[in-house]
């Protein structure tokens, strides 16, 4: 498993879109930090490298993408094989970091000059706590329903922001408590070291005094 060199944070970011390159059956993972009971929607598309055009094709028929979503407690929330483009969903059961791994099922490795090239470009759009607004509007039969869908979508976004604020507030409180405990432990350790040094000093002075008396040097 290869983790991408960045951490996706969901705080106040309802949508994250990017792309990356992957080789033959190379698994790459991202980490999403999300609160509990939150819907995550991921939309992806695979582009295949064309040696003739020296560019990525718009589509990659015959390819597939294996999506696995796990928590750090090794709980599997999603494990499914999709086509070259599609959408996956999952809901978090507990707050914390979730690992989203993507792996192409391609065995058509591109090689040039004896070296292996990255054969696919994977586009990924992750939306946190959002439902598909465009599909709902498309099904609306009049302006009233359209406005109603937009209003419901806005309310969902507000609720998601409040949920993320509460989650970040809890994390901040836990971090503050950990910091206070660490500072308290450091203070007590410094106090214990001081007592040890004083005790050692008193013992050494008494030992030297008794030694000098025994040798009749004083």
Residue 159 banded pLDDT, cuts 50, 70, 90? confident
> So what's the pLDDT on residue 6?
42
Which residues have a Cβ under 8 Å from the Cβ of 75 and sit 6 or more positions away? 93
Residue 150: pLDDT above 80? no
Range from 19-23, 65-69, 126-130, 189-193 carrying the lowest mean pLDDT = 126-130
Residue 101 banded pLDDT, cuts 50, 70, 90? very high
Question: pLDDT (tens digit, 9 = 90+) per residue, 112-123?
Answer: 333 344 578 889
Residue 107: pLDDT above 80? no
Question: pLDDT (tens digit, 9 = 90+) per residue, 168-213?
Answer: 888 888 888 989 889 888 989 988 999 999 999 999 898 888 887 7
Arithmetic mean of pLDDT over the chain: 78
Residue 8 banded pLDDT, cuts 50, 70, 90? very low
Residue 12 banded pLDDT, cuts 50, 70, 90? very low
> So what's the pLDDT on residue 141?
55
Contact status, residue 119 vs residue 49, Cβ threshold 8 Å: yes
Residue 26: pLDDT above 80? yes
Distance of alpha carbon 110 from alpha carbon 93, whole angstroms? 40
Count of other CB atoms within 10 angstroms of residue 64: 16
Residue 79: pLDDT above 90? yes
Q: Which CATH architecture has domain 17-130?
A: Sandwich (2.60)
3-state percent helix, strand, coil for the chain, nearest multiple of 5: 35, 35, 30
**3-class secondary structure for 187-205?**
HHHHHHHHHHHHHHHHHHH
């Amino acid at each position: 498993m290869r983790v991408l060199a960045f951490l996706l944070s969901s705080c106040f970011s309802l949508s994250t879109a990017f792309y990356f390159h992957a080789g033959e059956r190379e698994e790459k993972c991202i980490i999403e930090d999300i609160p509990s009971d939150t819907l995550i929607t991921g939309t992806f598309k695979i582009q295949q490298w064309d040696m003739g055009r020296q560019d990525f094709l718009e589509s990659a028929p015959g390819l597939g993408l294996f999506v696995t979503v796990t928590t750090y407690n090794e709980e599997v929330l999603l494990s499914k094989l999709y086509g070259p483009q599609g959408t996956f969903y999952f809901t978090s059961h507990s707050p914390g970091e979730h690992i989203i791994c993507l792996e192409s099922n391609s065995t058509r490795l591109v090689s040039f000059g004896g070296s292996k090239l990255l054969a696919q470009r994977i586009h990924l759009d992750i939306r946190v706590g959002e439902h598909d607004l465009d599909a709902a509007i498309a099904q609306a039969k009049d302006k009233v329903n359209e406005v109603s869908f937009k209003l419901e979508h806005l309310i969902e976004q507000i609720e998601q922001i409040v949920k993320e604020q509460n989650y970040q507030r809890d994390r901040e409180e836990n971090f503050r408590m950990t910091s206070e405990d660490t500072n308290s432990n450091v203070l007590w350790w410094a106090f214990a070291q001081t007592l040890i040094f004083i005790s050692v000093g008193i013992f050494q002075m008494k030992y030297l005094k008794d030694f000098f008396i025994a040798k009749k040097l004083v």
